[in-house]
Structure formats: C-alpha cells, structure tokens
Amino acid sequence: MKTIPFWTDLTPPPDNLSSPRIPEAVDVVVIGAGYSGLNTAIVLAKNGASVAVMEKHTIGWGASSRNGGLATTGMKRSISAIIKRYGEELGRIFWQSSLDAVDLIEDLVNKEGVECDYARSGSLALAWKPAHYEQMVAKAKWMDDKLGHKVTLVPKADLRSEIGTDAFYGATVDEASAGLDPAKYVFELARVAVRCGAVICEHSPVTKIVKQTGGFMVHTNQGAVSAKEVVVATNGYTDKLVPQLKPRIFPVGSYIIVTEPLSPALQQELSPRQRMIYDSKWFLNYFRLTADGRMLFGGRNDLSTNLDLVESSQRLREQMLFVYPQLRDIPITHSWTGQLGITFDLMPHIGTVDGIHYVFGYGGHGVPIATYMGTEMGLLLTGQKTSSPFVDIPHQTMFFYRNNPWFLPLAATYYRTLDMLT
Ligand SMILES: Cc1cc2nc3c(=O)[nH]c(=O)nc-3n(C[C@H](O)[C@H](O)[C@H](O)COP(=O)(O)OP(=O)(O)OC[C@H]3O[C@@H](n4cnc5c(N)ncnc54)[C@H](O)[C@@H]3O)c2cc1C
C-alpha cells in the first residue's frame, strides 16, 4: 500500500505550467493554487488583470488534489441551520449558490474543455439509524416546500437499487450532485488560468507581505513581487502569514483509502448508479467508485491532521467492510490525508484584513463551493459584482482560539458521543 494520494499517483501535477521566475509587479498576487486561488485567477486574468499565483508546493498540492471528488449540493452548515441563523431570504441565496457551484464546474467542463471525469451522477445520502431516515423524510418535504428542491426518498426496502449493502435504513438521492477526479480538475484549472494569462509560481511559499504605497510587496523564498491587491486562498493550510487570519479558520484532517480496481460485476453490485455516497453520522463516511473502478472510501473518527496513514487505513477498511463485506479480499492500494478548513460558524467567507483579501472555509464541500467562492472573489475584485452575501455575514471567531486548535480532541469526543446517542 502506498501512503500517497491515489489521484496524483495516477495523474502527476503538470510540469509545464509553472513560471521559471517570479514577476516583478502584477495587479494581483493570489496565494494558494487550489480551486479557490485558481478560479480567482481565471476571472481576474480573463478581465485583463495581471495575476501571479504563488504556491508553496506544486499546483493543487493542498486539499484540491487529495479530496474525494464529491461535488454535492449544500454546504458544511445544514441549509435549515443557515435559514435559522440568517433568515429565509439570505438562506435561499446561500442554497442557490451551492447549486450554482455545481453548475459552474459543469460550465468549466463544457466551455473551457476541463477534462476531469466529471459526471452529474447524483448523490446518495444514507440513513445510519432508523430515526435518521425519519428525519430525511421530513427534510425532503421541507426542502421541497421551502426551496423547491426535490430529492428522491429511497426506503430501506428499495435500497438495493442504489447500493449493494443492507447496512443502512433508507436514503435520499439528490440528482443535482456530481462527481469528478479532483486532481485532474485542479490541474485543468491551472491550464485554463495560464491560457488566460495568469502566471503560476510553484515552490514559492509566501513568507511575508509588507504594505507599501499603492499596494503590497509579497516576499517568497524565490524573490519578491509587488502587487496592488493580495488574495489569500490557503483554506485548511492557512498559517500565521497573516496573523489575523489564523483565528478565523482551523485545519481538520480527512483520510481516504482506495482499493484495487474491481470487476465490472462487483462495481455494478456495490454502486449500480455510480452515486457520490455519504452517510448520516457526525463522523461520516463518504465513498464512491473511481473512473477506473476502484472503491474510494473516506472519513475520520478523529479531527487531527497527523494520524498514521497505515493505522488510518486499517480503521477506514473496517468501516468499509461494515458497509461492503464483499471487499474483504480486495487489497487497499493507497492511503492518504489532507486538511479541510473549518470556520466556527461552518460558513465559507470572503473578507479583508489590513487590505489583504481572503476566501476560505468550505469544510468538506470545497469541490463546488471553493470553485464558486474563488469565482465570486474574482468577480468582486474586477467590479463585476459589487456585493456578496459571503462578504456581508459576520465572520465568527472564538476567544479561546488564536494559533493552536487545542480543542479538537475535545470536539472529537463530543461528536463520537453524539454518534452513539443520536
Ligand atoms: C481528504 C479530503 C477529502 C475531501 N473530500 C471532499 C469531497 O469529496 N467533496 C468536497 O466538496 N470537498 C472535499 N474536501 C474539501 C476540498 O478538497 C477543499 O475544501 C478544497 O479543495 C479547498 O480548496 P482551496 O483551493 O481553498 O484550498 P487547497 O486546495 O487546500 O489549497 C491551498 C493551497 O495553499 C497553499 N499554501 C498554503 N500556504 C501558502 C503560502 N504561505 N504560500 C504559498 N502557498 C501556500 C498550499 O500549499 C495549498 O496548495 C476534502 C478535503 C480533504 C482534505
């Protein structure tokens, strides 16, 4: 078993997109070459701005090349909680953004020729307990009444039409969700950004941002570039570069394994409709077939970012075999991890501190939402949009968190207890 991401093992980062040198001056420096940063860069470059994207490692090195590739509707915070907190009008706008986010990926596929095994395959949300299915029935009606969004209920008796297991108590299908190969997607975004005129500088960690007349001097270990505007798009890898940002987001680990390719008959049995699948636990599992017919199985029962990858693969394998005992004799080929960025209100945010812009906070929904938010950031900077609800909502911080997310083990125990009790 390899302890590296499967996606980049299969499709390594492109070696012909990074600029050999850092430009002297640009309109905008974007920090982080993931979905957020690259989508920001695409919008800016298309509108004639000069843009340099600084990436500490290689293109897409962060969560954008490591994730499960599930592009599901909704956000980390449930839509009912969003409506409760922000009211119906704003709640509907946030919900619509999550639908638009998947459409935006589809547009990139269709209009920019982004080849990433994208398919509008729908998602399957599975009830872990009988009570969860009852909640799903009520939520489906609520979604239809309040948002006009239809999901299909799948009672336990019909589950085998969707999934090759009897481990769950029913499900809902959302046909608006999609799936893709995350690494191919981020590499293709980089290609589009460069085609539009953006410069990408790999192995160029930004070490310091200094204010100067008319903008900033952005220092990297490869040299400095002056910029009128700076956008931080580092999500789960946000460090103390801009100290005021650290308390606004904290990193959480997510872990994934994949199996060897499965026979077509076994693929058909496990996931006949190739859905993007997740369950209803607090510490949920997410899983799907890959384009080459492997089972990808992700999750966590801890929030830490540094679990041993052999140990985490054993835990995930146990969870996978609980769902799919059919996979007992199938070897695991890869085990890896990456960092999600979580905000205290579980909402994505766009903001500005000391004149430096930031865009982050997607939880496990960043495939579509980071695409949307990066685009939104670009539209705001180019004046094509003058306001955004993601700017307007207050960005909650907590007095007890400045640098070290010491509270994560406590939170993990809390969520494990909730999984037992609710
Ligand atoms: C294991 C895992 C599974 C996931 N599964 C899903 C899923 O199935 N569906 C879904 O919607 N979401 C999923 N997510 C979340 C999703 O991947 C992220 O929300 C999304 O990729 C965030 O994109 P981003 O561009 O904001 O950040 P990232 O892709 O994390 O990019 C941030 C980049 O910033 C760079 N950086 C940091 N500091 C500096 C610096 N000082 N100078 C230069 N560069 C810097 C990093 O090297 C990194 O490449 C998953 C995440 C993980 C980790």
What digits encode the pLDDT tens for the residues 307-353?
Answer: 999 999 999 999 999 999 999 999 999 999 999 999 999 999 999 99
In this prediction, residue 237 carries a pLDDT of 97
* Within a domain: 269: yes
Decide if 101 is inside a domain.
yes
- Assign 339 to helix, strand or coil: strand
Question: Which residues have CB under 6 Å of ligand 1?
Answer: 31-37, 54-57, 61-64, 66-71, 205-206, 233-237, 239, 241, 254, 256, 286, 298, 338-340, 360, 362, 364-368, 370
Measured from the Cα of 61, ligand 1's closest atom is 49
Distance 318 CA to ligand 1 centre (A): 26
Indicate whether 140 belongs to any domain.
no
**60 CA distance to ligand 1 middle (Å):** 8
Query: What confidence tens digit (pLDDT) does each residue in 192-231 have?
Result: 999 999 999 999 999 999 999 999 999 999 999 999 999 9
- Across the chain, which distance is largest between two alpha carbons, in Å? 67
Structural domain that includes position 245: 6-122+176-412
Is a pLDDT exceeding 80 seen at residue 262?
A: yes
What's the structural domain count of the chain?
Answer: 1
pLDDT in tens, 130-185: 999 999 999 999 999 999 999 999 999 999 999 999 999 999 999 999 999 999 99
Does a structural domain hold residue 348? yes
Residue 64 DSSP label: G
Residue whose CA lies nearest to ligand 1 atom number 22:
366
Determine the pLDDT at residue 208: 98
User: How high is the pLDDT of residue 9?
Assistant: 98
Tell me what pLDDT residue 409 has. Answer: 80
Dist. CA 348 → ligand 1 center (Å): 13
Average pLDDT of the segment spanning 291-297? 98
Looking at the domain assignment, is residue 238 inside a domain?
yes
Whether residue 161 is contained in a domain is answered as no
72-129 pLDDT, tens per residue? 999 999 999 999 999 999 999 999 999 999 999 999 999 999 999 999 999 999 999 9
Atom 52 in ligand 1: residue holding the nearest Cα? 67
Q: For residue 168, how far is its CA from the centre of ligand 1 (angstroms)?
A: 30
For residue 235, the CA-to-ligand 1 centroid distance in Å is 6
Q: Which stretches of 104-146 are assigned E, i.e. beta strand?
A: 123-126
- Residue 396 domain flag: yes
- Residue 226 domain-assigned? yes
Contact between 267 and 259 (Cβ < 8 Å): no
pLDDT value at position 404? 83
Nearest Cα residue to atom 2 of ligand 1: 67
Q: What is the mean pLDDT of the chain?
A: 96
Helix 182-195 / helix 35-46 crossing angle, nearest 10 deg: 20
User: Predicted confidence band at 304 (pLDDT cuts at 50, 70, 90)?
Assistant: confident
Q: Supply the CATH number for residue 352's domain.
A: 3.50.50.60
Three-class SS of 301-330: CCCCCCCCHHHHHHHHHHHHHHHCHHHCCC
pLDDT at residue 417 greater than cutoff 90: no
How far, in Å, from the CA of 35 to the mean position of ligand 1?
7
Which position has the token pair 């140990």? 311
Q: How far apart are the first and last CA of the chain?
A: 35
Question: Closest Cα to atom 33, ligand 1: which residue?
Answer: 32
> For residues 67 and 256, what is the distance between their CA atoms, to the nearest angstrom?
8
pLDDT reported for residue 77: 94
In the predicted model, is pLDDT for residue 301 greater than 80? Answer: no
Residue 398 has pLDDT above 90, yes or no: no
Cα–Cα distances in Å, from 16 out to 19, 159, 348, 373?
8, 46, 32, 27
